[in-house]
Amino acid sequence: MTAQAHPILNPQFECASREEINAAQFKLLQEQVAWTYERVPFYRERFDALGLKPGDIKAREDVNKIPFTEKNALRDTYPYGLFAVPLDQVVRLHASSGTTGKPIVVGYTKQDIEEWRYCIMAMAQMAGVVPGDRAQMAFGYGMFTGGFGLHYGLEGLGCMMIPAAAGNTERHIMMIEDYGTTVLIATPSYALHICEVGEKLGYDWSKSSLRVGLFGGEPCPPKLKSEIESRMHIICTDNYGLTEVMGPGVSGECLVSRDQQHIMEDRFYWEVVDPDTLEPLPEGSVGELILTPLKKQAIPLLRYRTRDLTRVITEPCGCGRTTARMDKVRHRSDDMLIIRGTNVYPSQIEDVLAGIPGASAYYRLVVETVDGLDRLQLSLEVEPQVFTDSLAEMEGFRRLVAEKLKGALQVGVTVKLVEPASIERVMGKTKHVEDLRG
Protein backbone atom coordinates (compact mmCIF):
# COMPACT_ATOMS: atom_id res chain seq x y z
CA MET A 1 0.00 0.00 0.00
CA THR A 2 1.51 3.34 -0.94
CA ALA A 3 1.08 6.85 0.32
CA GLN A 4 -0.65 7.70 -2.98
CA ALA A 5 -3.26 4.98 -2.49
CA HIS A 6 -4.38 6.54 0.76
CA PRO A 7 -3.86 10.28 1.11
CA ILE A 8 -2.07 11.62 4.17
CA LEU A 9 -4.04 14.33 5.97
CA ASN A 10 -1.13 16.60 6.86
CA PRO A 11 1.93 15.50 4.85
CA GLN A 12 3.87 18.63 5.84
CA PHE A 13 4.07 17.29 9.36
CA GLU A 14 3.40 13.56 8.97
CA CYS A 15 6.17 13.20 6.36
CA ALA A 16 8.63 15.78 7.73
CA SER A 17 12.22 14.96 8.68
CA ARG A 18 12.92 13.86 12.24
CA GLU A 19 14.69 17.17 12.92
CA GLU A 20 11.66 19.12 11.71
CA ILE A 21 9.27 17.01 13.76
CA ASN A 22 11.40 17.36 16.89
CA ALA A 23 11.73 21.11 16.47
CA ALA A 24 8.01 21.69 15.85
CA GLN A 25 7.10 19.42 18.74
CA PHE A 26 9.48 21.04 21.17
CA LYS A 27 8.23 24.53 20.40
CA LEU A 28 4.68 23.40 21.14
CA LEU A 29 5.87 21.72 24.33
CA GLN A 30 7.43 24.95 25.58
CA GLU A 31 4.21 26.82 24.87
CA GLN A 32 2.14 24.14 26.60
CA VAL A 33 4.36 24.21 29.70
CA ALA A 34 3.97 27.99 29.92
CA TRP A 35 0.18 27.76 29.40
CA THR A 36 -0.09 25.18 32.16
CA TYR A 37 2.19 26.95 34.63
CA GLU A 38 0.36 30.22 34.23
CA ARG A 39 -3.13 28.77 34.61
CA VAL A 40 -3.09 25.70 36.85
CA PRO A 41 -2.14 26.26 40.51
CA PHE A 42 -1.39 22.53 40.93
CA TYR A 43 1.42 22.76 38.39
CA ARG A 44 2.59 26.22 39.44
CA GLU A 45 3.04 25.04 43.02
CA ARG A 46 4.97 21.96 41.89
CA PHE A 47 7.26 24.01 39.64
CA ASP A 48 7.79 26.66 42.33
CA ALA A 49 8.67 24.01 44.93
CA LEU A 50 11.45 22.85 42.59
CA GLY A 51 12.53 26.37 41.69
CA LEU A 52 11.60 25.54 38.09
CA LYS A 53 10.27 28.07 35.59
CA PRO A 54 8.78 27.32 32.14
CA GLY A 55 11.74 29.25 30.66
CA ASP A 56 14.11 26.60 32.11
CA ILE A 57 12.81 24.07 29.58
CA LYS A 58 15.27 25.00 26.85
CA ALA A 59 16.20 21.60 25.41
CA ARG A 60 14.74 18.09 25.33
CA GLU A 61 16.90 16.97 28.28
CA ASP A 62 15.24 19.67 30.41
CA VAL A 63 11.92 17.87 30.12
CA ASN A 64 13.25 15.41 32.72
CA LYS A 65 13.06 18.22 35.28
CA ILE A 66 9.27 18.36 35.00
CA PRO A 67 7.52 16.13 37.55
CA PHE A 68 5.29 13.35 36.22
CA THR A 69 1.52 13.56 36.54
CA GLU A 70 -0.23 10.50 37.99
CA LYS A 71 -3.88 9.55 37.67
CA ASN A 72 -4.34 10.47 41.33
CA ALA A 73 -3.78 14.13 40.50
CA LEU A 74 -7.03 14.01 38.55
CA ARG A 75 -8.84 12.11 41.28
CA ASP A 76 -7.60 14.34 44.09
CA THR A 77 -8.67 17.50 42.28
CA TYR A 78 -12.01 16.06 41.06
CA PRO A 79 -13.88 17.43 39.21
CA TYR A 80 -12.38 20.71 37.96
CA GLY A 81 -9.17 21.23 39.94
CA LEU A 82 -6.78 20.84 36.99
CA PHE A 83 -8.81 22.93 34.54
CA ALA A 84 -6.85 25.77 32.99
CA VAL A 85 -9.78 27.80 31.66
CA PRO A 86 -12.97 29.19 33.22
CA LEU A 87 -15.84 26.73 32.96
CA ASP A 88 -17.78 28.97 30.58
CA GLN A 89 -15.10 28.21 27.98
CA VAL A 90 -15.56 24.46 28.37
CA VAL A 91 -17.94 23.09 25.76
CA ARG A 92 -17.78 19.37 26.63
CA LEU A 93 -17.04 17.05 29.54
CA HIS A 94 -16.04 13.41 29.37
CA ALA A 95 -15.13 11.03 32.15
CA SER A 96 -13.54 7.67 32.71
CA SER A 97 -14.75 5.56 35.56
CA GLY A 98 -11.78 3.24 35.99
CA THR A 99 -12.04 0.38 38.42
CA THR A 100 -11.79 2.13 41.76
CA GLY A 101 -12.80 5.38 43.40
CA LYS A 102 -14.06 8.57 41.79
CA PRO A 103 -14.20 8.92 38.05
CA ILE A 104 -11.77 11.29 36.41
CA VAL A 105 -13.30 14.20 34.54
CA VAL A 106 -11.82 16.01 31.57
CA GLY A 107 -13.01 19.11 29.70
CA TYR A 108 -12.60 20.48 26.19
CA THR A 109 -12.72 24.02 24.83
CA LYS A 110 -13.99 24.64 21.29
CA GLN A 111 -10.40 24.53 20.12
CA ASP A 112 -9.71 21.27 21.96
CA ILE A 113 -12.65 19.72 20.12
CA GLU A 114 -11.18 20.95 16.82
CA GLU A 115 -7.80 19.44 17.66
CA TRP A 116 -9.48 16.18 18.57
CA ARG A 117 -11.32 16.16 15.25
CA TYR A 118 -7.98 16.68 13.47
CA CYS A 119 -6.38 13.70 15.29
CA ILE A 120 -9.27 11.39 14.45
CA MET A 121 -9.26 12.51 10.81
CA ALA A 122 -5.53 11.81 10.51
CA MET A 123 -5.88 8.47 12.29
CA ALA A 124 -8.84 7.37 10.15
CA GLN A 125 -6.97 8.21 6.95
CA MET A 126 -4.08 6.05 8.11
CA ALA A 127 -6.50 3.15 8.40
CA GLY A 128 -7.69 3.69 4.84
CA VAL A 129 -10.96 5.43 5.70
CA VAL A 130 -11.92 7.97 3.02
CA PRO A 131 -14.56 10.69 2.65
CA GLY A 132 -17.77 9.03 1.59
CA ASP A 133 -17.23 5.97 3.75
CA ARG A 134 -20.29 4.95 5.78
CA ALA A 135 -19.11 4.63 9.33
CA GLN A 136 -21.22 2.79 11.89
CA MET A 137 -20.58 3.56 15.53
CA ALA A 138 -20.75 0.67 17.98
CA PHE A 139 -19.26 2.60 20.94
CA GLY A 140 -21.65 4.17 23.38
CA TYR A 141 -22.36 7.89 23.20
CA GLY A 142 -21.86 9.00 26.75
CA MET A 143 -19.16 10.03 29.16
CA PHE A 144 -16.80 7.50 27.48
CA THR A 145 -14.65 9.34 24.93
CA GLY A 146 -14.98 6.66 22.23
CA GLY A 147 -18.42 7.53 20.84
CA PHE A 148 -18.45 11.30 20.46
CA GLY A 149 -14.69 11.60 19.87
CA LEU A 150 -14.63 9.29 16.87
CA HIS A 151 -18.03 10.44 15.63
CA TYR A 152 -17.05 14.08 15.09
CA GLY A 153 -13.66 13.22 13.61
CA LEU A 154 -15.12 10.86 11.05
CA GLU A 155 -17.88 13.31 10.21
CA GLY A 156 -15.14 15.94 9.76
CA LEU A 157 -13.42 13.67 7.27
CA GLY A 158 -16.62 13.51 5.24
CA CYS A 159 -17.87 10.07 6.26
CA MET A 160 -21.56 9.38 6.58
CA MET A 161 -21.91 8.69 10.28
CA ILE A 162 -24.38 6.05 11.41
CA PRO A 163 -24.71 6.66 15.18
CA ALA A 164 -26.03 3.20 16.05
CA ALA A 165 -24.23 3.21 19.45
CA ALA A 166 -23.39 0.18 21.59
CA GLY A 167 -25.77 -2.74 21.98
CA ASN A 168 -28.53 -4.40 20.01
CA THR A 169 -26.15 -6.53 18.01
CA GLU A 170 -28.72 -7.89 15.58
CA ARG A 171 -29.73 -4.34 14.70
CA HIS A 172 -26.07 -3.57 13.97
CA ILE A 173 -26.00 -6.37 11.43
CA MET A 174 -29.23 -5.23 9.85
CA MET A 175 -27.85 -1.68 9.57
CA ILE A 176 -24.61 -2.88 8.00
CA GLU A 177 -26.65 -4.68 5.38
CA ASP A 178 -29.33 -2.04 4.80
CA TYR A 179 -27.18 1.10 4.94
CA GLY A 180 -24.18 -0.35 3.13
CA THR A 181 -21.85 0.35 6.05
CA THR A 182 -18.17 0.30 5.08
CA VAL A 183 -16.47 1.12 8.41
CA LEU A 184 -17.27 -0.36 11.81
CA ILE A 185 -16.13 1.40 15.00
CA ALA A 186 -16.01 -0.74 18.15
CA THR A 187 -13.82 -2.50 20.64
CA PRO A 188 -12.26 -5.48 18.87
CA SER A 189 -13.99 -7.91 21.23
CA TYR A 190 -17.40 -6.43 20.46
CA ALA A 191 -16.58 -6.59 16.75
CA LEU A 192 -15.91 -10.31 17.08
CA HIS A 193 -19.22 -10.68 18.86
CA ILE A 194 -21.03 -8.86 16.05
CA CYS A 195 -19.27 -11.23 13.68
CA GLU A 196 -20.40 -14.32 15.60
CA VAL A 197 -23.99 -13.18 15.90
CA GLY A 198 -24.02 -12.49 12.16
CA GLU A 199 -22.67 -15.97 11.44
CA LYS A 200 -25.38 -17.51 13.60
CA LEU A 201 -28.01 -15.57 11.71
CA GLY A 202 -26.57 -16.89 8.46
CA TYR A 203 -25.18 -13.50 7.40
CA ASP A 204 -22.48 -13.87 4.76
CA TRP A 205 -19.71 -11.48 5.81
CA SER A 206 -17.78 -12.14 2.61
CA LYS A 207 -20.58 -10.41 0.69
CA SER A 208 -21.00 -7.52 3.13
CA SER A 209 -20.09 -3.94 2.22
CA LEU A 210 -17.96 -3.66 5.38
CA ARG A 211 -14.32 -2.93 4.51
CA VAL A 212 -12.49 -1.49 7.53
CA GLY A 213 -12.70 -1.97 11.29
CA LEU A 214 -11.58 1.04 13.36
CA PHE A 215 -11.08 -0.73 16.63
CA GLY A 216 -9.62 0.41 19.92
CA GLY A 217 -10.16 1.04 23.59
CA GLU A 218 -8.63 -2.30 24.61
CA PRO A 219 -5.75 -4.49 23.46
CA CYS A 220 -6.29 -6.34 20.20
CA PRO A 221 -4.06 -9.43 20.40
CA PRO A 222 -2.89 -10.93 17.07
CA LYS A 223 -5.29 -13.87 17.31
CA LEU A 224 -8.30 -11.62 17.82
CA LYS A 225 -7.19 -9.49 14.88
CA SER A 226 -6.72 -12.44 12.54
CA GLU A 227 -10.06 -13.97 13.59
CA ILE A 228 -11.89 -10.74 12.82
CA GLU A 229 -10.07 -10.24 9.52
CA SER A 230 -10.68 -13.74 8.23
CA ARG A 231 -14.24 -14.15 9.45
CA MET A 232 -15.55 -10.65 8.70
CA HIS A 233 -13.48 -10.19 5.53
CA ILE A 234 -12.32 -6.72 6.57
CA ILE A 235 -9.09 -4.92 7.44
CA CYS A 236 -8.95 -4.69 11.20
CA THR A 237 -7.09 -1.58 12.39
CA ASP A 238 -6.31 -0.61 15.93
CA ASN A 239 -6.21 2.89 17.40
CA TYR A 240 -5.13 3.97 20.83
CA GLY A 241 -5.90 6.75 23.23
CA LEU A 242 -6.93 7.59 26.76
CA THR A 243 -9.41 9.95 28.32
CA GLU A 244 -6.86 11.85 30.40
CA VAL A 245 -4.97 13.26 27.42
CA MET A 246 -7.91 13.49 24.97
CA GLY A 247 -9.53 10.11 24.21
CA PRO A 248 -9.11 8.11 20.97
CA GLY A 249 -6.81 9.64 18.37
CA VAL A 250 -3.43 9.54 20.15
CA SER A 251 -2.09 6.96 17.71
CA GLY A 252 -3.36 4.76 14.93
CA GLU A 253 -2.40 1.90 12.67
CA CYS A 254 -1.50 2.53 9.03
CA LEU A 255 -1.94 -0.08 6.32
CA VAL A 256 1.77 -0.85 6.05
CA SER A 257 3.10 -1.15 9.57
CA ARG A 258 0.35 -3.39 10.87
CA ASP A 259 1.75 -4.12 14.33
CA GLN A 260 2.41 -0.52 15.24
CA GLN A 261 0.59 2.75 15.48
CA HIS A 262 1.74 6.19 14.36
CA ILE A 263 1.69 8.70 17.21
CA MET A 264 0.13 12.11 16.45
CA GLU A 265 3.39 13.80 17.29
CA ASP A 266 2.11 17.25 16.40
CA ARG A 267 -0.37 16.92 19.27
CA PHE A 268 1.47 14.67 21.76
CA TYR A 269 4.99 14.66 23.14
CA TRP A 270 5.93 11.09 23.99
CA GLU A 271 8.56 9.57 26.23
CA VAL A 272 9.25 5.97 27.26
CA VAL A 273 10.54 5.43 30.78
CA ASP A 274 11.38 2.55 33.05
CA PRO A 275 8.13 2.08 35.03
CA ASP A 276 10.06 1.39 38.26
CA THR A 277 12.82 3.98 38.20
CA LEU A 278 11.03 6.45 35.86
CA GLU A 279 14.37 6.97 34.10
CA PRO A 280 14.20 7.62 30.33
CA LEU A 281 14.91 4.54 28.20
CA PRO A 282 16.83 4.48 24.90
CA GLU A 283 14.70 4.50 21.74
CA GLY A 284 13.25 1.08 20.98
CA SER A 285 13.15 -0.18 24.59
CA VAL A 286 9.91 -1.39 26.09
CA GLY A 287 8.73 0.80 28.94
CA GLU A 288 5.89 2.98 30.16
CA LEU A 289 4.51 5.52 27.74
CA ILE A 290 4.48 9.08 29.08
CA LEU A 291 2.36 11.59 27.20
CA THR A 292 2.16 15.36 27.25
CA PRO A 293 -0.65 16.75 25.11
CA LEU A 294 0.76 19.71 23.18
CA LYS A 295 -2.28 21.80 22.37
CA LYS A 296 -4.65 21.16 25.23
CA GLN A 297 -6.40 24.26 26.54
CA ALA A 298 -9.00 23.06 29.04
CA ILE A 299 -7.04 20.42 30.91
CA PRO A 300 -3.36 20.34 30.06
CA LEU A 301 -1.34 17.56 31.66
CA LEU A 302 2.42 17.45 31.81
CA ARG A 303 4.23 14.11 31.52
CA TYR A 304 1.18 11.96 32.16
CA ARG A 305 1.94 8.39 33.28
CA THR A 306 -0.28 6.23 31.07
CA ARG A 307 0.80 2.91 32.71
CA ASP A 308 0.66 1.46 29.20
CA LEU A 309 3.74 -0.53 28.24
CA THR A 310 5.09 -0.16 24.72
CA ARG A 311 8.14 0.56 22.57
CA VAL A 312 8.50 3.56 20.27
CA ILE A 313 10.65 3.86 17.15
CA THR A 314 11.24 6.87 14.91
CA GLU A 315 12.32 5.08 11.73
CA PRO A 316 10.29 6.27 8.72
CA CYS A 317 7.46 3.96 7.71
CA GLY A 318 6.75 2.39 4.32
CA CYS A 319 3.44 4.27 4.21
CA GLY A 320 5.36 7.52 3.68
CA ARG A 321 4.86 8.83 7.20
CA THR A 322 7.84 9.69 9.35
CA THR A 323 5.97 10.10 12.62
CA ALA A 324 7.07 7.83 15.48
CA ARG A 325 5.43 4.44 15.81
CA MET A 326 4.49 2.73 19.04
CA ASP A 327 4.00 -1.01 19.36
CA LYS A 328 0.46 -2.09 20.04
CA VAL A 329 -0.22 -1.88 23.75
CA ARG A 330 -0.60 -5.44 25.01
CA HIS A 331 -0.39 -4.76 28.70
CA ARG A 332 -0.26 -2.12 31.38
CA SER A 333 2.20 -1.95 34.23
CA ASP A 334 -0.75 -2.23 36.61
CA ASP A 335 -2.10 -5.38 34.85
CA MET A 336 0.83 -7.39 36.05
CA LEU A 337 -0.16 -10.18 38.43
CA ILE A 338 2.42 -11.39 40.90
CA ILE A 339 1.67 -15.06 41.48
CA ARG A 340 3.85 -16.66 44.12
CA GLY A 341 6.64 -14.26 43.21
CA THR A 342 6.37 -14.73 39.45
CA ASN A 343 5.19 -11.92 37.20
CA VAL A 344 2.34 -12.88 34.93
CA TYR A 345 0.69 -10.71 32.28
CA PRO A 346 -2.66 -11.67 30.76
CA SER A 347 -1.07 -11.03 27.34
CA GLN A 348 1.27 -14.01 27.93
CA ILE A 349 -1.77 -16.22 28.39
CA GLU A 350 -3.27 -14.84 25.18
CA ASP A 351 -0.08 -15.66 23.29
CA VAL A 352 -0.09 -19.25 24.56
CA LEU A 353 -3.76 -19.71 23.66
CA ALA A 354 -3.15 -18.22 20.21
CA GLY A 355 -0.72 -21.08 19.53
CA ILE A 356 -3.22 -23.83 20.41
CA PRO A 357 -5.62 -24.73 17.57
CA GLY A 358 -9.10 -25.09 19.03
CA ALA A 359 -8.58 -22.59 21.87
CA SER A 360 -10.78 -19.54 21.31
CA ALA A 361 -9.93 -15.92 22.08
CA TYR A 362 -12.48 -15.94 24.93
CA TYR A 363 -11.17 -16.63 28.41
CA ARG A 364 -11.58 -15.51 32.01
CA LEU A 365 -8.85 -15.65 34.59
CA VAL A 366 -9.64 -15.68 38.29
CA VAL A 367 -6.89 -15.10 40.82
CA GLU A 368 -7.59 -16.11 44.40
CA THR A 369 -5.82 -17.16 47.53
CA VAL A 370 -6.53 -20.72 48.63
CA ASP A 371 -4.93 -21.92 51.88
CA GLY A 372 -2.53 -18.99 51.78
CA LEU A 373 -1.40 -19.67 48.20
CA ASP A 374 -2.22 -17.67 45.10
CA ARG A 375 -4.05 -19.73 42.50
CA LEU A 376 -4.82 -19.00 38.87
CA GLN A 377 -7.97 -20.45 37.42
CA LEU A 378 -8.62 -20.14 33.71
CA SER A 379 -11.99 -20.75 32.08
CA LEU A 380 -11.42 -21.19 28.38
CA GLU A 381 -13.98 -21.32 25.64
CA VAL A 382 -13.30 -24.10 23.20
CA GLU A 383 -13.92 -23.58 19.50
CA PRO A 384 -16.94 -25.50 18.18
CA GLN A 385 -14.85 -27.81 15.97
CA VAL A 386 -12.96 -29.28 18.93
CA PHE A 387 -15.85 -29.29 21.37
CA THR A 388 -17.02 -32.90 21.69
CA ASP A 389 -18.98 -35.14 24.05
CA SER A 390 -15.94 -37.36 24.48
CA LEU A 391 -14.69 -36.78 28.01
CA ALA A 392 -11.32 -38.34 27.22
CA GLU A 393 -10.72 -35.99 24.28
CA MET A 394 -11.74 -32.94 26.25
CA GLU A 395 -9.52 -33.99 29.14
CA GLY A 396 -6.59 -34.44 26.75
CA PHE A 397 -7.15 -30.94 25.38
CA ARG A 398 -7.49 -29.47 28.86
CA ARG A 399 -4.18 -31.03 29.91
CA LEU A 400 -2.45 -29.74 26.82
CA VAL A 401 -3.59 -26.18 27.55
CA ALA A 402 -2.52 -26.47 31.22
CA GLU A 403 0.92 -27.83 30.26
CA LYS A 404 1.56 -25.11 27.67
CA LEU A 405 0.55 -22.43 30.15
CA LYS A 406 2.75 -23.87 32.88
CA GLY A 407 5.68 -23.98 30.45
CA ALA A 408 5.26 -20.37 29.39
CA LEU A 409 4.32 -18.77 32.71
CA GLN A 410 6.32 -20.92 35.13
CA VAL A 411 3.18 -20.98 37.28
CA GLY A 412 0.54 -23.70 37.41
CA VAL A 413 -2.90 -22.80 36.10
CA THR A 414 -6.08 -24.75 36.77
CA VAL A 415 -7.82 -24.93 33.41
CA LYS A 416 -11.54 -25.41 32.96
CA LEU A 417 -12.96 -25.82 29.46
CA VAL A 418 -16.29 -24.22 28.79
CA GLU A 419 -18.72 -24.50 25.89
CA PRO A 420 -18.50 -22.22 22.86
CA ALA A 421 -20.31 -18.91 23.39
CA SER A 422 -20.68 -19.42 27.16
CA ILE A 423 -18.41 -16.57 28.32
CA GLU A 424 -20.32 -13.32 28.53
CA ARG A 425 -19.83 -10.94 25.57
CA VAL A 426 -19.62 -7.27 26.40
CA MET A 427 -20.29 -4.24 24.24
CA GLY A 428 -17.39 -2.23 25.61
CA LYS A 429 -14.06 -3.26 27.01
CA THR A 430 -13.63 -6.91 27.95
CA LYS A 431 -12.39 -7.60 31.45
CA HIS A 432 -10.44 -10.84 31.30
CA VAL A 433 -9.09 -10.96 34.84
CA GLU A 434 -10.77 -11.03 38.21
CA ASP A 435 -8.39 -10.70 41.11
CA LEU A 436 -10.15 -11.87 44.26
CA ARG A 437 -7.11 -11.52 46.52
CA GLY A 438 -7.56 -8.98 49.27
Residues at the interface with ligand DLL (CB under 6 A):
96, 145-146, 216-219, 238-243, 247-248, 306, 308, 328-329, 332
Of all helices (H) and strands (E), which one includes residue 107?
A: strand 104-108
Nearest-approach distance from CB 221 to ligand DLL, in angstroms: 10
> Whose Cβ is closer to ligand DLL: residue 142's or residue 384's?
142
Lateral strand order in the sheet of 433-435: 413-418, 373-382, 359-370, 433-435
Give the Cα separation of 255 and 1 in Å (integer): 7
Q: Considering only CA atoms, which of 217, 190, 193, 212 is closest in space to residue 328?
A: 217
Displacement of CA 219 from its chain's centroid (Å)? 6
Nearest-approach distance from CB 121 to ligand DLL, in angstroms: 15
DSSP string, 408-419: HHSS-EEEEEE-
> Whose Cβ is closer to ligand DLL: residue 96's or residue 414's?
96
> Whose Cβ is closer to ligand DLL: residue 239's or residue 430's?
239
Nearest-approach distance from CB 308 to ligand DLL, in angstroms: 5
Helices 169-179 and 188-200: crossing angle in degrees, nearest 10, is 80
> Whose Cβ is closer to ligand DLL: residue 37's or residue 144's?
144
Displacement of CA 49 from its chain's centroid (Å)? 34
In 282-411, the DSSP E strands lie at: 287-293, 304-310, 312-313, 325-327, 331-332, 337-339, 342-344, 359-370, 373-382
> Whose Cβ is closer to ligand DLL: residue 253's or residue 381's?
253
> Whose Cβ is closer to ligand DLL: residue 89's or residue 96's?
96
Of all helices (H) and strands (E), which one includes residue 31?
A: helix 18-39
- 92, amino acid identity: R
- The CB-nearest residue to ligand DLL is 216
Nearest-approach distance from CB 117 to ligand DLL, in angstroms: 15
Nearest-approach distance from CB 130 to ligand DLL, in angstroms: 20
Q: Assess contact for 271 and 303: CB atoms under 8 A.
A: yes
Nearest-approach distance from CB 36 to ligand DLL, in angstroms: 20
233 φ, ψ to 5°? Answer: 60, 50
Distances in Å between the Cα of 56 and the Cα atoms of 60, 146, 205 are 11, 37, 57
Query: Taking the CB of residue 34, how many other CB atoms lie within 10 A of it?
Result: 14
Nearest-approach distance from CB 416 to ligand DLL, in angstroms: 27
Distances in Å between the Cα of 9 and the Cα atoms of 73, 107, 127 are 35, 26, 12
Nearest-approach distance from CB 131 to ligand DLL, in angstroms: 21
Nearest-approach distance from CB 251 to ligand DLL, in angstroms: 8
> Whose Cβ is closer to ligand DLL: residue 17's or residue 343's?
343
Q: Assess contact for 129 and 214: CB atoms under 8 A.
A: yes
> Whose Cβ is closer to ligand DLL: residue 237's or residue 360's?
237
> Whose Cβ is closer to ligand DLL: residue 133's or residue 238's?
238
Nearest-approach distance from CB 88 to ligand DLL, in angstroms: 26
Nearest-approach distance from CB 59 to ligand DLL, in angstroms: 29
> Whose Cβ is closer to ligand DLL: residue 191's or residue 415's?
191
> Whose Cβ is closer to ligand DLL: residue 208's or residue 306's?
306
Q: Considering only CA atoms, which of 154, 92, 152 is closest in space to residue 123?
A: 154
Distances in Å between the Cα of 417 and the Cα atoms of 255, 285, 387 are 36, 37, 9
